[in-house]
Amino acid sequence: MLPRPVLDIHAHIGKIFRAYPKFTVKKLLKRMDELGIDMAVVLSIENPEETDFYLPTENVLRAVRKHRDRLIPFCNVDPRRGNPGAFDPYPIIERYVSRGCRGFGEELAGLMIDDERLQRIYEAVAKLGIPILLHLDRYRNIDEVGLPRFERMLREHPKTIFIAHGPHWWAEISGDLKPEMMGGYPKGPVKPGGKVEYLLKNYDNVYGDLSAGSGLNALARDPEHAKGFLERNRKKLIFGTDIIYETQEIRILEFLESLELSDRTYRDILYGNAERLLKL
């Protein structure tokens, strides 16, 4: 039996894909109850690259207003607004934070991860003391094998708290990543030298979001490695589902329980780390 409470760092609401029906707050809360999840972060979507429809921050704030004991809003601002080189996202993000947003994301812009426009957001969230949750793949927050651009951002923005997620990030758990594997779900045993663990160990300002198929695949491809990886990095990993529709299969909790981790590791990953970052 997993310890409680459980906080999901990565949930969605609304109709963001044509293929799935609208995922209301009521349906999200029902699924949370079924899964044994006590609280969840509801992410905004204001970048055009990932989903069929937007979920603006204003919609998220309205939707979670009556459920702030269980649902935590994150805000979003597309970095390409306004005149090139002149847009300052800080006043907008500051307003959202004053209204209760505890983080920024899901950041999904189709830009290089070190783009100057994104760096303005990194600077803004650092000043406001909130984390930013980024999705990394071939088309969003783009980087090369080994994540050199992301590592430079970690160095140059040491006060920005990054929560990394997505196929490219989790593919870097293994040291044998090839460029053609960055956007997928590599199989087979994890090889030494993976950049994910290197970054988690060497930079205080980066965390890993275990949600979605990419997070589960990184662990389930090599369960023996997964157990040690989770124990060693228990202070830098955060539980999430990336739930987007009512009947979605969520296997990450069952998988985590099967590893029989230490109680302290479960507590940190399932709630403690998120509680600290979100200042709950």
Query: Could you report the per-residue pLDDT of 19-28, keeping only the tens digit for each?
Result: 999 999 999 9
pLDDT at residue 182, as a whole number: 75
Query: Could you report the per-residue pLDDT of 4-55, keeping only the tens digit for each?
Result: 899 999 999 999 999 999 999 999 999 999 999 999 999 999 999 989 999 9
Query: Could you report the per-residue pLDDT of 129-180, keeping only the tens digit for each?
Result: 999 999 999 999 999 999 999 999 999 999 999 999 999 999 999 999 988 7
Task: Provide the domain limits for residue 42.
Answer: 7-278
3-state secondary structure of 126: helix
pLDDT at residue 239, as a whole number: 98
Please report, for the domain that includes residue 229, its CATH number.
Answer: 3.20.20.140
The number of distinct structural domains making up the chain is 1
Residue 38 lies in a domain: yes
Residue 1 lies in a domain: no
* Alpha-helix runs per DSSP H in the chain: 25-35, 57-64, 90-98, 116-128, 148-156, 167-171, 195-202, 212-220, 223-232, 252-258, 263-267, 273-278
Query: What's the pLDDT band for 82 if we cut at 50, 70, 90?
Result: confident
How far is C-alpha 59 from the chain's CA centre? 20
